[in-house]
Amino acid sequence: MKKNNFKPSGFNPTWIYAIIGLLLIAFLLFSDNIGGMGGPTKNIDRTTLLSYVEKGYVKEADLEKETGRVNIFLTDEALNKEEFKKFKKTDNGLSSFGGPSANFTFNVADAGNFEKDFYANVEKSPNKTAKLNTVVSSGFSSLFTNLFITLIFFGLIYFFLFRKMGAGGSAGGSGGIFSVGKSKAKLFEGDDHIKTTFKDVAGLEGAKEEIEEIVEFLKNPDKFTKLGGKIPKGALLVGPPGTGKTLLAKAVAGEAKVPFFSLSGSDFVEMFVGVGASRVRDLFKNAKEKSPSIIFIDEIDAIGRARGKSNFTGSNDERENTLNQLLTEMDGFGTESNVIVIGATNRSDVLDKALLRPGRFDRIINVDLPELNERKEIFQVHLRPLKLGEDVEVEFLAKQTPGFSGADISNVCNEAALVAARKNKEVVEKQDFLDAVDRIIGGLEKRSKVIKPSEKRRIAYHEAGHATIGWLTEHAAPLIKVTIVPRGRSLGAAWYLPEERQITTTEQLLDEMCMTMGGRAAEQVVLGNISTGALSDLEKVTKQASAMISIYGLNKEIGNVSYYDSSGQNEYGFSKPYSEKTAQIIDQEVKAMIEAQYERAKQILVENRDKLDILADKLIEKEVIFREDLEEIFGKREFVNELDKVEQQEEDAINANPEQVIQPESGNDI
């Protein structure tokens, strides 16, 4: 690969420093009074001086015969007089030689005559001790001393002003304030190259397949261009936080082995006007010099937001200028370079449409939350460095963590190792992973919290209500564990294993709402009143009911209408997409839907009151109950997960005929 010299562009501030230095030297050479740091010094004439001598104001004087310069020093009594107070040296200021600085100066033409006149006036004065000292001039020494002091002074100014301000304005190097417009991207190439490869990225098979082609474009562009195709300009990674977007970009850099420029969207933002656009220009200039190369912009929504939105005061002009420059660099005149831009964001809905069009980001790659099989692969990656016990099963862990991202799974593995270390174990066991999941989802146990017996009984019935409804309704998530030990901000908690669904029906949502309202319903049925403990439950069902009616069109009164804005244009919600009448209907239907499921929950609990009491008593006694305890009280659950049914059928078929190989019904197993 051809190596290009990386030459910095822009104005060189060395010339400014040189000009300042020359002006300083000229000032030192031609100045009359350098280094008098003790206070003001005034030039006077010969007559005035001799009158001061006669009055006894002069303590002594220094005569430089070579230059004819006379430095006059006043007595302490004279300095206390009103006319001389401004010449009083309160800090005993020093001259360039380290002695006291003069109060007055003047130049004489004839040193011999001046000496005679001086002592003649001393005889007339009340101060007979005044004397005239003859000194040898040390002009060069004085100049050198003052030059040294001044250079130190300006050196400190340079260090604290230019260097400190430049630290935040340049790309990690020198250049000072004049390099504020340089790109802050971190460059990886050569020995400093990223070592991450696609082997380190578990799951994300679809995303990896699409992005592997980008690596192939960079390694072997002729394969595609010979057929008339064009190399893509960029790829945008979109997905929830923690799904592996940044990791995927690192893998691209490690596989392609080309110069990789990495920076965040916020690195373009600065307090100075025009800096963002300047940094974009500098970034692409450097990337083109090292072509073929990759530019990775993480959190690109920081500069890529739609233009014109919420720009009431013109405050977004700087960000828009930065975005305009980015659009021009990605697809403008003179962009025929082998530079690919990779962006990552979890807010694709707020990005500008011009940024997303083909020719800029040709590919939009969705990086979703991992499915069951993908979670298995992710667990295998993060379990490698751990010392595991024999009872740890990857498939079991994957089933226990639905909805977890790659970052969440990494956190689970790390937390499990910490839990095991806290218990002084030699290996990480299955129970440590379960404790880690509980810790992450529910928070830290607070067994020391004081709870009154009446409150404990209410909490037990509340959680037992959730568990009962979840066990007796078809589409509710099956229970794993219930506890009345305070965790985090909650006084009790229940863990369920949600079913892996791609779509959700109305009946499934209503069953989930019924189970959520089961806690408050149990309080009403058993205790005859309700409490504030159902706050999170009410919040959940209210949002769920509102979404069903106004977004998913699952209500007869509103009908098949959705007021959801996927484009994100109505970001701040200053105007509703429906009338006030429709808003009232939505409010009524939300309330009616929640109340219907609340009454349904109460009815189920009334019908199973005896079992509810048994469950609550056991919960008070043991504080923690599991799925096995519910099976003991209610019997085996009638409703089985659809995927579990399929797995059970396959296992039964294999057990019935182990030699038979089960083939897919269709030849297309994609």
Active site residue 557: no
Would you tell me the crossing angle of helices 518-527 and 506-516 to the nearest 10 degrees? Answer: 40
Rounded Cα–Cα distance for residues 607 and 352 (Å): 56
Q: Is the dihedral of CA 453, 458, 459, 464 positive or negative?
A: positive
- What distances in angstroms separate CA 78 from CA 83, 100, 147, 335, 595, one per listed residue? 9, 16, 33, 80, 98
Rounded Cα–Cα distance for residues 248 and 363 (Å): 14
Rounded Cα–Cα distance for residues 9 and 178 (Å): 11
| Contact residues for 158 (Cβ-Cβ < 8 A; gap 6+) | 17
- What distances in angstroms separate CA 436 from CA 379, 424, 446, 522, one per listed residue? 14, 16, 15, 30
Torsion of CA 645, 646, 648, 649, to 10 degrees: 110
Question: Would you state the structure tokens that stand for residue 655, as one six-digit string?
Answer: 């057990």
Question: Would you state the structure tokens that stand for residue 129, as one six-digit string?
Answer: 């001790």
3-state secondary structure 346-359: CCHHHECHHHHCCC
CA 428 to chain centre: 32
One DSSP character per residue, 392-447 reads: --HHHHHHT-TT--HHHHHHHHHHHHHHHHHTT-SSB-HHHHHHHHHHHHH--B-T
- Which of the 8 DSSP states describes residue 83? G
- Which of the 8 DSSP states describes residue 306? P
Local structure of 545: helix, strand or coil: helix
Rounded Cα–Cα distance for residues 473 and 514 (Å): 9
Rounded Cα–Cα distance for residues 326 and 351 (Å): 13
Count of CB atoms situated within 10 Å of the CB of 29: 10
The bridge status of strand 339-345 relative to strand 293-298 is parallel
Rounded Cα–Cα distance for residues 264 and 300 (Å): 7
Q: Which of 423, 359, 348 is nearest to 389 (CA)?
A: 423
- Catalytic annotation, pick one of 320, 329, 463, 589: 463
Q: How many residues does the chain have?
A: 670
Catalytic residues: 463
